[in-house]
Amino acid sequence: LPGAHSYTAAVAVDVAGITITGLPRGTAPAPHSRGAGTLRHASSITSTTNIMNISVANVEVAYLHLIPALALAGISLTATAAVNANLHDLTFLMTTAADTATFGIQATAVVDRMRVANCFAFVSDNQGPWIRTASGFTNSVIEQCTVMLDGTTAWDDVIEITTGSDNVVVRDCDFIHGTGALMTTI
């Protein structure tokens, strides 16, 4: 429902084929709008865990504003079974104390056929990557997103795709930095 929601435990997404969605404000953003519109739902966490852990296939997550806690993730894909994840029209606010272990989206297992589209991430200083894989992505796409860095510290890894990745496309995304800070690798 609309409003700010703070969880004390991670949301375990362990039912295949479900959709988790917030409500966009007004009409849905137009296709190819390069970033989610104004959202009515904000999710954050007050414990030492990720906001959402996805461990199953065919999950769609949309129209949420995610605020990961220090050294944690907004969304974590935790099993190779998390194929066909469709993460779209999301916003991420990564402005806790700078910590390279704070992630917007992370995969701790090899994830196949993931789609991240039409998202907006606002980051201050040197956080962890907005999108990070520890084991590799395969046959996946990151498209039509906007990532904005504010602050005076360079950001080491905006998108970190590691060894074991194959057929990953990053296309039609905008990367913006302010106040002289640099995004050093994508």
Residues 6+ apart with CB under 8 A from 99: 70, 71, 127, 128
Mean pLDDT of 144-173: 87
Phi, psi of 64 (to 5 degrees): -120, 150
**How many residues appear in the chain?**
186
Residues 6+ apart with CB under 8 A from 27: none
Which strands sit side by side in the sheet containing 73-77, from one edge to the other?
11-13, 52-54, 73-77, 103-107, 131-133, 159-160
Over its C-alpha atoms, the chain yields an Rg (Å, rounded) of 15
Measured from the Cβ of residue 22, the count of other Cβ atoms closer than 10 Å reads 24
Mean pLDDT of 149-158: 82
Mean pLDDT of 155-179: 86
Nearest Cα to 106, choosing from 126, 65, 78, 86? 78
Residue-level pLDDT at 39: 63
Residue-level pLDDT at 180: 63
pLDDT of 38 over the 80 cut: no
pLDDT in tens, 79-135: 999 999 999 999 999 988 889 999 999 999 999 999 999 999 999 888 899 999 888
| Residue whose entry in the numeric block shows the structure tokens 């993730």 | 73
| Residue whose entry in the numeric block shows the structure tokens 């510290």 | 153
